[in-house]
Structure 1
């Protein structure tokens, strides 16, 4: 297993953002091909144009399908026939159309086993919307395409934050958080920590929904009525889950360092501290699915698109995280296989 060359499928994201720039910068160093075989779903014409714009020396080959990808090379699957003009920094319908074509093709190759993992460059959540894509982001789309229970899991070397709710309006958060949801998400995170991150006995912290976790019902009753009894039930089942903790002081006091993962009640409660502590090194990982998907922790960055200023660090981290998680999963499968069943089968 350790000698397997992992094929990494890559969707290019919004054509007018920094996705292609960070991909080209990531693989400008040919030594990256020693770690994986990258398979990009886009068009060589677009990559040639941006390579020239950014004065990069990244070499690549065009192939007609992921199945024809060549190990040791940066492969680009030519799937876009009518390549639109790049309009850096602009939110165009063409940019969203290409992003969706790339994502759909990469996901299909992942499902077929033509690539082992998926790394997605950032999309614009507005211009990608069509009859085929009515989702608030990658996570929800992939949940419909792959088996499992998806969960947005932001990870870095020293911090892992999972979300009970992700792209949900603030006014709707409390009604979404039920005992059933908490139990399901904790199960997903617990299993991910064991299988994907090789942590045998995970220790998980949960943040409260309301300020100061409700202050004993003074600032909302959801923490007392929903969070606390559910956490107690999960703890009594054998999982080391603790909380709810007041979110305002949890990160500044370094309390997060005592846990293998933190579960935030909603998007900004988890993403603001994560990006403050890990920006440029963080990875958005979709835990709980049958296949591995990661993404950098930034967006399309229209403000710097086309200027050559994009930092590929987070994309590189996403790439290596996908490879590492894939290997951890394969090792877990090997270690947990029943040798008696195999010998009797």
Structure 2
């Protein structure tokens, strides 16, 4: 798997939810901060304003604009910055108005149907496990705003159209189609943001790493095959750089040396296998590159503070954090 796909697979928890909402002016809606979630808003018709957390400057949203909130921050939407947010706070993952995982709703009609005052949005929420947060997502800002631009990001527009169409007319197969489209939408949003950072010449962090052909090649290689006996020299060969130059550039962009990141990713992958499969511990160890179950168990306990067998038994409850850097201590 490539880096972006791996990140989403590692952090995903529970089922995403989405709704197509028809807003009738005047309207205002608060969305509270929700730990362990990420949300999005897409304007399908009309326009509205997004009020960021911490009283930031309002952001005008128009047809085709996409907003992604990767850290579960609170915010508000309204037809105007001056409109009071009188509606109860809406959590797309738990709001009783959206008990169905995929729904359509009308808000604030007030007995009138003035098409000039209607805004239609596509909103949704993803459940992400904060204990498995990948540094790639932690690098993202509180709000990712992707304004609509003619001819830009046709794949993102297509995913929005398909998802909106499904929610407007749920039919047989929706329980498979909608989650797949939500995953597609999330990946297209992330791809679009990282592409924009690369075009702007971002010089630090994961945006720069994924835009750097040498470091990106090494990252994709170790994500495709974490069990391979990678060394700095071999990864440098993948990147087309000398051992020293590769190690220096990787550490500068990622914030950790290559083998520290590799160990962290192997154990993050192991945690996913323990949660999602019944593979024996020895098989899990082999699949992530450990030659013995004993060595794997020791490394896993250093990162997660718990033996892999106990981690698996507790996987239905809140699991310990395995943040990058723990393996270096």
Whether TM-score is above 0.5 comes out as no
Flag the structure with larger Rg: 2
* TM-score, normalised with respect to structure 2: 0.29
Q: Which has the higher contact order (CA 8 A, sep 6+)?
A: 1
TM-score between both structures, scaled by the size of structure 1: 0.28
